Each structure stands twice: as structure tokens, then as C-alpha cells.
Amino acid sequence: MSHTSPTLMPHFTVSSSSDNNRLRLFCGSSNIALAQEIASYLGMDIGPMIRKRFADGELYVQIQESIRGCDVYLIQPCCNPVNDHFMELLIMIDACRRASARQITAVIPYYGYARADRKTAGRESITAKLVANLITEAGAHRVLSMDLHSAQIQGYFDIPFDHIYSTPVLLDYFSTKDLSDLVIVSPDVGGVARARAFAKKLDDAPLAIIDKRRQSHNVAEVMNIIGDVKNKTAVLVDDMIDTAGTITKGANLLREEGARRVYACATHAVFSGPAISRLSSGVLEEVIVTNTIPIPETNCFKQLTVLSVANLLGEAIWRVHEDTSVSSMFR
């Protein structure tokens, strides 16, 4: 497994002006390593905070410095255990609000419950909307997130929402590899827009789509390929890899249809259940993910490459703080 960071250079020098002193970074317990990388990009330290869990499982948070009148950025991807990490984020937001922070931005690289974004049957919850309501109600003034499962989630918020993409980091990595006869593959019909945008940035590479029928949650059934993959290098593009059923069945189908090599790339390495054994089985040449979610050593395997999105997130935080354009990072 290899770790690489993109060559994004800071567009600033952190001066001692009162406005820069207003910027404060804090992080929850879900991805401390990523938060530290973001802090080092911004040339600052993560603010002091006590986090503890009582004997009955309740969480406690206390900010250890004055943040009155400050712009506070709380870094907390809501990954597994999602409910603990989400509750910790809400408690951090509430603590900052009660401590008179001027502006509170929830930096959520991985937005938990993003797949529960609509009703597919009667009597279901739209949990992604509930999560949005809770974040807003807790007191956040703004949200910054990366590669949402569906972009419509931005509309669940009535506060400003900055949506950023890992694409520059992934493209930067692919540009270092000499891949010929490339075809970008969407593992399902829902991911076509994402795969098409990715293909366009890779010298307008051709696109293929895997059409599948899903019978129940976390069970994918691959049907057939729309597009030509014979003797090509196929790159499966998705927003996340969870149990890896979709990706590995897709990869097997691509091999059967004559693809020479198969790569998989995704922003969020959720990696639940049988994901590691499936991904390391040898059907995939390489699995490229980012560090929005921490990957424990036990979940690392030979084909895995983890790219850092810390500089992208750091740059976005700086631009939000400086009131400059975030979208121009992706043009």
C-alpha cells in the first residue's frame, strides 16, 4: 500500500493579523490523522479539546481555549461507528455555539447516511435529510463535504453548503501512470454522470456502463456491459466502496468481456464486511481510494493505494475563511 499527496501549494501565508487569528480547527475522534494533515497544510495546530466517554457510553466534549468571536472548523467524517461519530459532531457544534463562536463550519469529508437520500418504499425515513436537519439545528452555520453520494443532499440544507471533489487528486495520480487504451466504467446506471465527468478530464476517454439489478441492500447483481471494453484498461469509478460487491462483480464481468486490466477508484473507503477479501482476490490490478475515512493497518492489502485529500480540504477551508471561490479549485 502506498500513500501519496497531491502537489497543491498553499495560496497564502498565515499572518498574525486578527482575522487569521480568528480561524480555529478542531477535530472529532473519527479521523485525527486527516485533521492533522489539514492543520499542517494550513500551518496551524488543532485546537485543544477534551473528548471522553462515560461508563454508560455517553460522550463528553469540552473546548479547552476561548473561541469567542472565532471562525471554527470542526473536522469529522461520519464513518463507522457512524452514530457515535455523528453524535460527537453534534455535541462539538453545540459546545462551540454555546462558547460564542462567530461561525461554525462542519467539515464532513464523508457524509454518513448519504445513501438514505430518498424513499424507495413506503414508511421509510429519508435519513440523509434528518442528518441535515440535526446538523443545522445543533448550530452549524455552514457545511463542507466531499463527493456526496448524491449531489441533491446539498439541497437538504438551508445553510451554505460547499461540495468539493477528490477528482484533482485522483487525476493527478492517474497522470503519473502510463495507461493506454483507457475506458472509464460506471459500476451502475446511477453513477454515469460521475464516471462521464471523470472520463472527460482523462482526455475524453470512452465510457462504459454496467447495468445491474439490485435485489436487496448491499447485494448487487451484475447484468451486462453497455460499451466496448475488449483489450482495454478499464477503470471503475465510484463515490465509495462499501462491501465491494458491486466493484468486484463489475471487475469480474469486465475480465470476462475481455478487459486487459481492471482498476477501481473511489473517494470513500467504507470497507465493510467481506470488502477486503473481495478486493484483494486478484481480480483488480489496483484499488485507489482517498483518506476521507481512516483505513486501519489490518484492512491494508497489496493492491491498495491511499491518496491524501488533506491539501484539498485545507485549501477549501482557507478559501471559505477568506471568502474566496471554492468552485474555481475544480475548473
Contact 283, 251 (CB under 8 A): yes
pLDDT mean across residues, the chain: 93
DSSP 14: -
The grid cell for 330 is 475544480
Same domain, 117 and 173: no
Q: What gap in Å lies between CA 106 and CA 58, rounded to an integer?
A: 21
- Residue 46: name the closest of 280, 309, 310 by CA: 310
Radius of gyration of the chain (CA): 20
Q: What gap in Å lies between CA 261 and CA 239, rounded to an integer?
A: 21
Same domain, 248 and 325: no
Where residue 7 falls among pLDDT bands split at 50, 70, 90? Answer: low
User: Residue 265 belongs to a domain with what CATH number?
Assistant: 3.40.50.2020
- Residue 289: name the closest of 222, 244, 225 by CA: 244
Total of domains in the chain? 2
Same domain, 296 and 315: no
Catalytic residues: 212
pLDDT at position 213 is 67
- Residue 78: name the closest of 111, 126, 101, 47 by CA: 111
Same domain, 213 and 324: no
Same domain, 129 and 202: no
Lowest mean pLDDT among 13-22, 219-228, 258-267, 312-321: 13-22
Same domain, 23 and 144: yes
Same domain, 9 and 145: yes
pLDDT at position 288 is 98
Same domain, 93 and 204: no
Same domain, 9 and 129: yes
Q: What is the pLDDT of residues 246-298, one digit of tens each?
A: 999 999 999 999 999 999 999 999 999 999 999 999 999 999 999 999 999 99
Segments forming the whole domain that contains residue 247: 167-307
230 CA to centre of own chain: 31
**Residue 164 CB-density burial (10 A; 0-12 exposed, 13-18 middle, 19+ buried):** buried
pTM: 0.92
The strand pair at 286-290 and 182-186 is best described as unpaired
Same domain, 77 and 194: no
Q: What gap in Å lies between CA 200 and CA 35, rounded to an integer?
A: 31
In this predicted structure, the answer to whether residue 162 has a pLDDT above a threshold of 70 is yes
Where residue 19 falls among pLDDT bands split at 50, 70, 90? Answer: low
The grid cell for 185 is 466504467
Q: What gap in Å lies between CA 253 and CA 260, rounded to an integer?
A: 12
pLDDT at position 13 is 46
Same domain, 18 and 161: yes
Q: What is the pLDDT of residues 290-330, one digit of tens each?
A: 999 999 999 999 999 999 999 999 999 999 999 999 999 99
pLDDT at position 218 is 74
Same domain, 73 and 139: yes
The strand pair at 103-108 and 71-75 is best described as parallel
Where residue 3 falls among pLDDT bands split at 50, 70, 90? Answer: low
